[in-house]
Structure 1
């Protein structure tokens, strides 16, 4: 037995790609790899929804993870570690060892692990993130990039994208697809853009019923312009730039910041230094963001780099215009002035102008309506259909 693995009884019926034909009667058996689940992680929330949707279509899913909510079929693989580099390295080694013992029709990874058939690049391209981060770190970037963790991730990407086992990559935006072609010279036919699905019945303009209660809870005037930021990792997601842009706005808008960050106190001090303490509320992580969407007039995500945050889809489905950056995968869907706004993550003046537009109901309301229409086709069922179709095509392809 591989050290660190807690076995669970398998529930799948087929153990070989030769005997598990997706066109036959036996269920397709797919292993999905993700280290852990957190209620506040957008990628994990998406994956849980995706697993549920695929399971409902008869795909037998087995989760391989360090920690995951109770599921019909999961393997807990949790080797010890002493640093985040060893955490990722140890998990990768343990998973690959386990896959030598248990056979699946397809192995789909959401981590940078080379022993997979299909990789979902939901975390984007680390090379590109380091390039964008250097814009705010300056000369310090060369030192920071040499940290063991970054060196390990860069090496892991090289191994993954040049692995002979890798048959396809799912990109959650066209932006990520282009980055993989630019950085790793991957052929376009190996890269499949499949957008995350969104439940437009759950994320709906009717959430405005929460407007009064949420504003009262956070001491925000009912008629005041209110912007919403949702995300964890404030530096990467652009909170500094957002605060700076707010000082340049014509309107005295309020801002709710929902999410988790170990350095939250530092951002609170920054808001105070900029004279924004009375209009910015740090709400911390929330079990449900739905009421917050209902209270807001627009959603702001000026991220320095983000492959395609679920928050973008959620906001648009709620009928809220979205302001995001040109290095966010939402560029695929957002058209400036029509259903939202796009700007460079560090262009404070342009961002301020666009924030003022979000606060103007004559512009924001029709833009929000257009935003919802944009994402209505991106259902969970549509996403599951495309994933299942990709699985079938990979199984039908010649064996190596």
Structure 2
């Protein structure tokens, strides 16, 4: 049976596409008979029609292929719910009149019901699936995302830190707090800024990522009296330099199925504070998990890490060791193990 990794309009630059390409190469290296199958739709069609057409295209071509996808499709052997649960996402996003949402919900239900097995990228996502849909728990396997972990020595990190701080004219003795992510509302940049405004400690913070309403967040930082302490960098190709420059990665997201940025920050020896609504938060010390994005406890945790270098350094060291266990290679091995199990059950 041919293993087909299915994706809509494959592009080498998207996060999902990059993961799929890495998975493809890793599976081939392990001897799997694998291909990438992509489907395109006319650009003039409404988005919700494109989604329905994509589902029809993929299912029509399936034949005897083993289908794996990150997309919601009603004819999969293995669905990777890397995007989380749309019904749960809408709870955090709020109501909007968009015909795409009902289509997503319909496809999501069919995908969960029809898929032979489901990968949840965190226990949180598995719990969300079970809460919203009548799916047998044994049908869902938790496989955490992985990163291309790099062994990095302290000297290399210090050199990158110095370069970034010199570039932005920042005092090297200041504690550096970092946020990385695009789509600032869901990922908690407002809450990030509000918490920092209450620190009453010297600091500088970088906000790295793409946001269409960036002027709102710049104005908010001014209103909060911390404008001079915040650098909005926009999207960056060299984000690893900012991981290296920072001491604390603060990610008060409202809903993040996993959050590779957390592991990436840990790879560069950051202490991490995030929310229980972030799947990757399951991997860190639970003391540094917030109950919600605007949890007032965030200020206390930030102060603890800033005021106590020994505590901060221990957390940074522990996080680096944790990140070293969640590599993309480990993820591929776990995925292949599950694929083999499904094919054996189908015989």
Give the TM-score taking structure 1 as reference length: 0.80
> CA RMSD for the aligned pairs?
2.1
1:235 maps to which of 164, 185, 191: 185
Q: Which runs of 5+ in 2 are unaligned?
A: none
- Contact kept, 8 Å, 1:225 with 1:297, in 2: the verdict is yes
User: How far did 1:36 drift?
Assistant: 4.3
Match of 1:89 among 52, 59, 64: 52
Specify whether residues 31 and 148 from structure 1 end up closer, same or farther in structure 2 by C-alpha distance, changes over 3 A only. Answer: same
Match of 1:246 among 196, 199, 224: 196
**Could you tell me which residue of structure 2 aligns to residue 393 of structure 1?**
341
Alignment check: 8 A CA contact 2:195 2:299 kept = yes
Aligned mates of 1:98, 1:279 — CA distance in 2: 54
Q: Which residue of 2 aligns with 1:355?
A: 302
What CA deviation, in whole Å up to 9, does each residue of 1:42-91 have, x standing for no partner?
Answer: 444433333332222122432234xxxxxxxxxx5243344433343333
Matched, 1:174 2:137: no
1:226 and 1:123 mapped to 2: Cα distance? 30
CA drift at 1:203: 6.3
123-132 vs 168-177, greater mean Cα deviation = 123-132
Choose which of 143, 150, 156 in structure 2 pairs with 1:194. 143
Give the Cα–Cα distance (whole angstroms) in 2 for the partners of residues 122 and 29 of structure 1.
19
Which has the larger share of helix?
2
The aligned counterpart of 2:321 is 373
1:294-314: per-residue Cα shift (whole Å, max 9, x none)? 100111111000010111111
Between the aligned partners of 2:229 and 2:52, the Cα distance in structure 1 is: 43
Aligned residues between the structures: 345
2:82 maps to 1:133: no
Change (3 A) 1:385 1:255: same
Aligned equivalent of 1:275: 225
Aligned in 2, Cα 1:219/1:46: closer, same or farther, shift over 3 Å? farther
Report the counterpart of residue 69 of structure 2 in structure 1: 109
Question: 2:247·2:270 contact (CA, 8 Å) conserved in 1?
Answer: yes
Alpha carbons 2:252, 2:294 under 8 Å: kept: no
**SS of residue in 2 equivalent to 1:169:** strand
Q: 1:157: Cα distance to partner?
A: 1.0
Alpha carbons 2:16, 2:70 under 8 Å: kept: no
Aligned equivalents of 1:173, 1:295: Cα separation in 2:
28
Deviation string 1:349-379 (CA, Å, 9 cap, x unpaired) is 2111122233242221110101112232222
Judged with a 3 Å threshold, the aligned counterparts in structure 2 of structure 1 residues 59 and 34 are, in CA distance, closer, same or farther, namely: farther
Deviations 1:249-291 (A, max 9, x none): 1213211111112222222222222222111111111113111
Q: Do residues 122 (structure 1) and 82 (structure 2) align?
A: yes
Q: Is 1:58 aligned to 2:31, yes or no?
A: yes
Query: Quick one: distance in 1 between partners of 2:262 and 2:79?
Result: 22
SS at match of 2:118: strand
Task: Specify the alignment match of 2:110 in structure 1.
Answer: 159
Give the aligned partner of residue 48 of structure 1.
21
- CA displacement, residues 317-364 of structure 1 (integer Å, 9 cap, x when unaligned): 222111110111023212134xxx111333342111122233242221
Looking at structure 2, the residues matched to 46 and 272 of structure 1 have their Cα atoms a distance apart, in angstroms, of 38
User: Which sections of structure 1, spanning at least 5 residues, go unmatched?
Assistant: 1-16, 18-27, 66-75, 135-140
Summarize the Cα distance change of 1:32–1:58 in structure 2 as closer, same or farther, 3 Å threshold.
farther
Name the residue aligned to 1:306.
256
Is 1:292 matched with 2:242? yes
State the Cα distance separating 1:35 from its structure 2 match: 4.6
* Alpha carbons of structure 1 residues 388 and 49: separation in structure 2 relative to 1, 3 Å: same
Output the TM-score relative to the length of structure 2.
Answer: 0.92
Partner SS, residue 135 of structure 2: coil
Stretch moving more, 168-177 or 341-350:
341-350
In structure 2, relative to structure 1, the CA distance for the partners of 1:348 and 1:254 (3 Å cut) is: farther
Distance 1:193-1:362 versus aligned 2 partners, 3 A rule: same
CA contact (8 A) 1:79 1:94 kept: no
CA distance in 2, matches of 1:300, 1:43: 24
User: Partner of 1:183 in structure 2?
Assistant: 132
